[in-house]
A and B are shown apart, each in its own frame.
Chain A
Amino acid sequence: MKVSEFAEKLNLEILTEGNGSSKDIKGMYICDLLSWAMSHAQKGDAWVTVHTHVNIIAVAVMADISCIVIPEGIEVEEATLKKAAQEGIAVLGTKKTAYEIACEAGKLL
């Protein structure tokens, strides 16, 4: 499922510009340890993390992650969104918890 369709179905806000939202989501991975996420997330996973600094974009790029979902209404730095747009990674925001996101994603993916 395309990131844009996923965002619409789960009512997530796409925070980034650029072509990131045309990527395909294959699954989901939730973890806030960057090295752990990078090595265990599968190609095409949507990654849920509370981190919002610019390094999450590099991690997503290295691990072939399809998009990043920031839960609980956490605000994302402008620099991160800019980098995300450059690298073609969509960042999605929502007030939902990681658990709520995963439950809804589980029915769709």
Chain B
Amino acid sequence: MTNGIIRQNFVIPADDFTAAGEASSSVKKMLIQLGVDPQKVKKTAISMYEAEINAVIHANGGIASVEIDRNKIFIRIEDHGPGIPDVELAMKEGYTTAPDAIREMGFGAGMGLPNMKRYADLLEIKTEVGKGTTVEITVYLS
């Protein structure tokens, strides 16, 4: 890879389950094309998908921005949804507020945030009730 930085933004549409995952899929393809190690591609893809789908399900969509340089992949998923009142609680495996209709689709295991924690090298969550949530995922390349 060159020294340059690749930057790309994606809109995550609200309540559109057919489009949910488009941003993460595009990023995954991009990383494969760049020749990034498959392990790191998978780590990035899973954590980004979890953040993307959370924005769709819990927060009326948002914006994803991706920055790739030779040292790391940095992903920010920003939404203007309800925010998370208790992040520590939300991070617990099995904790979910997903409604029944969403759970019937197989979401709402309460595993999304724990998966991000597991697969990202660095995970930062900034959230404010009534304002929104920003999730930042870093995966190191070197």
**Chain A residues in the interface with B (C-beta under 8 A):** 32-36, 38-39, 43, 49, 51, 53-59, 61-64, 79, 83, 87
Contacts and interface: CB of A to CB of B under 8 A. Distances in A.
A36 B24 CA distance: 18
A41 to B, nearest CB: 10
Given A58-B25, A61-B25, A39 B118 contact: yes
Interface in B23-54: 24-25, 28, 38, 42, 45-46, 49-50, 53
B106 A54 contact: no
Main secondary structure of the interface of A (DSSP, over half): helix
If over half of B's interface residues share one DSSP class (helix, strand or loop), that class is named, otherwise mixed; here it is: helix
Given A54-B17, A54-B18, A33 B42 contact: no
Contacts of B53: 55
Interface of B: 17-18, 20-21, 24-25, 28, 38, 42, 45-46, 49-50, 53, 105-107, 109-112, 115, 118-119
Given A35-B111, A58-B20, A63 B46 contact: yes
Q: Which of B20, B21, B24 has the most CB of A within 10 A?
A: B21
Contacts of B119: 39
A55 B109 CA distance: 15
Contacts of A61: 21, 25, 28, 45
A62 B115 contact: no
A55 B21 contact: yes
Contacts of A83: 18
A38 to B, nearest CB: 6
A62 B106 contact: no
B66 to A, nearest CB: 15
15 contacts: A33-B109, A33-B111, A34-B109, A35-B50, A39-B46, A53-B105, A54-B18, A55-B106, A55-B107, A56-B106, A58-B21, A59-B21, A61-B21, A62-B49, A63-B42
Contacts of B17: 53-55
A51 B118 CA distance: 25
